[in-house]
Structure 1
Amino acid sequence: MNDAADSAQDDGAPEPPPALRPRRKGIYILPNLFTLAALFGGFYAIVMAMNGRFEQAAIGVFCAMVLDSLDGRVARLTHTQSAFGEQMDSLSDMVSFGAAPALIVYEWALKGLGKPGWIAAFVYCACAALRLARFNTNIAVVDRRFFQGLPSPAAAALVTGFIFVMNDAGFVEGVRDTPWLVWLTWGITLYAGLTMVTNAPFYSFKDLSLRRSVPFVVIVAIVLFIALINLHVPIMLFLLFVLYGLSGYVMYVWRRVKGKPVSVIATSTDEPDEAGLHR
């Protein structure tokens, strides 16, 4: 009797609802296409360096820089930002602006130095990884007007831009037989790497808006700037990144002399554009 009653109760009880399957998150195509193209630029640069075609390797890194500057803007314009895209962008940057420049400069000049050569290349690569990790963890508290340390694309431009200029000057073969050039390359590699992990403030240009009206003289200045670049593209581009690579230290010293805070870590996450920066 009891078994029959229990069976009747079981038959009348409502069945539990089926477990909901977690919704799969899709991947936005357009911004990640730019990121993959930037990653290909870094991979292409490594392959060209392995084949001794260092000018093409430098061009690959510069193309990766342009594409890297576009993927985030495309994501914001099309409202396709995602956590996946942020992680993908960091991994692409590590290849294109961390591993690629280190391998290119090692194959071009540092290989003949033995341990000092590969140590300098490794320091650059490791500093690029540290810089990207710090950027990802501090992104919510850093004043958006400045970068904390030299950005990895600018560091890559310093290293590969120097190779581009030297190749254009005729130092295509026999670089390792020119001691002053080898050691100058060694110094530039270490400078670029270590500057990435400093606290020097480098202007980010993120507060510039193309939608704002500007005086007519600004347009004239842009025209003159383009004309100067075209005088000699490799040298002018390299000088441009040299000036930017020094600007952070100039800003640091200037703010110290004026008695102003030099840290780019904002004192409040509620006001990322605040004027005051703590030390």
Structure 2
Amino acid sequence: METPVSPPEPSRSGDEGRGPRLREIPLRLVVPNLITVLAICAGLTGIRLAFEGRFELAVGMVLLAAFLDGIDGRVARLLKATSNFGVQMDSLADIINFGVAPVLVSYAFLLDGARSLGWIAALIYAIAAGLRLARFNVMAEREQKAAWQAEFFVGVPAPMGAMLVLLPVYLGFLGVEPSPVFVYGSTAYTVLIGYLLVSRLPVWSGKAETSKIRRDLMLPILLVMVLYVALLMSYTWEVLVVTVVAYLIMLPFSARAWKKRYGTLTIEDESANV
């Protein structure tokens, strides 16, 4: 006995010859993710240039990656294009641009001279950067944030860590010879920066609403920023060395400000736990 075949359903007008319709995505949602992808490309290109011996270009690409990685979130908020996909992309870019790329450039330029110790130092820094970013993500997702989170970071932030760990490279560009003392000192310095990333050292962020600038100081501060950028373009490595040293000097004052307000030298709070 033959099974009866049901007649085909009539096709809707306008759907003939068309497959399933894909949901369209506004262009403004693509822009922040495109910036993130460009940042990853810049960081990976910096690694390639370092192993090709073009170290100045390599550092430039790593710094460009850090800059792009720093603005993609702001662009997303400006365009009202934030998404969970973008957050995950940004996290992946952070570990490449702030954890892997800078320390591999440093390893190819200098730390390789310390052989296994140099590689161990590079591994410690890269893992510390990953732990630092994971802790930041956990703290950012908490519904109830501590009041101090608007004013202080827990440990040195990963973007600044990337700039700090390249200090021996900047000094090498300025003519410091890669003597054994400098190589092994740079290895210990790399481990120190890794420790500062995962430490509970309170680091002033400057993002608090109470951090305000007097109106009459606004123009002088803008002029100083213009001067800084001009000097950075003309004397790049000298300015970066001064910037790194000034930031390191600032850390004890940041801890002192925290102790004056909260009575301890390190951050001990439930919201800071991993």
Report the TM-score, using the length of structure 1 for normalisation. Answer: 0.76
Matched residues in 1 for 2:203 and 2:262: separation? 18
Alignment of 1:162-241 (within 5 A): 162-167=168-173, 169-171=174-176, 175=178, 178-207=179-208, 214-228=214-228, 230=231, 232-241=235-244
Amino acid at match of 1:152: A
Change (3 A) 1:145 1:254: closer
Q: Are the equivalent residues in 2 in contact too, given 1:150–1:245 (CA < 8 A)?
A: no
- Give the CA deviation at 1:160: 2.3
Identity of aligned residues (%): 32
Matched residues in 1 for 2:257 and 2:112: separation? 38
Q: Deviations over 1:23-53 (max 9, x none)?
A: 9796920111111111112111101111011
Alignment of 1:1-279 (within 5 A): 28-139=29-140, 140=142, 141=145, 143-167=149-173, 169-171=174-176, 175=178, 178-207=179-208, 214-228=214-228, 230=231, 232-256=235-259, 260=263
- Give the CA deviation at 1:86: 0.9
Matched residues in 2 for 1:33 and 1:128: separation? 23
Q: Deviations over 1:74-130 (max 9, x none)?
A: 111111111111111111011111111121111111112122111111100110110
Change (3 A) 1:238 1:26: farther
Q: Are the equivalent residues in 1 in contact too, given 2:40–2:65 (CA < 8 A)?
A: yes
Q: Deviations over 1:183-208 (max 9, x none)?
A: 23213211211100011122223336
Matched residues in 1 for 2:81 and 2:260: separation? 43
Report the TM-score, using the length of structure 2 for normalisation. Answer: 0.77
Q: Are the equivalent residues in 1 in contact too, given 2:114–2:187 (CA < 8 A)?
A: no
Amino acid at match of 1:82: S
Matched residues in 2 for 1:221 and 1:189: separation? 33
Change (3 A) 1:223 1:233: farther
User: Unpaired runs of 5+ in structure 2?
Assistant: 1-21
How many pairs are equivalent?
A: 242
Q: Are the equivalent residues in 2 in contact too, given 1:150–1:195 (CA < 8 A)?
A: yes
Task: Give the secondary-structure state (helix, strand or coil) at the position aligned to 2:206.
Answer: coil
Number of the residue aligned with 2:15: none
Q: Deviations over 1:169-220 (max 9, x none)?
A: 135xx73xx11221232132112111000111222233369xx885232321
Task: Give the secondary-structure state (helix, strand or coil) at the position aligned to 1:199.
Answer: coil
Number of the residue aligned with 2:14: none
Q: Are the equivalent residues in 2 in contact too, given 1:165–1:238 (CA < 8 A)?
A: yes
Amino acid at match of 1:45: G
Provide runs of 4+ in structure 1 moved above 4 Å.
Answer: 23-27, 261-267
Change (3 A) 1:213 1:240: closer
Who wins on radius of gyration, i.e. which is larger? Answer: 1
Amino acid at match of 1:232: Y
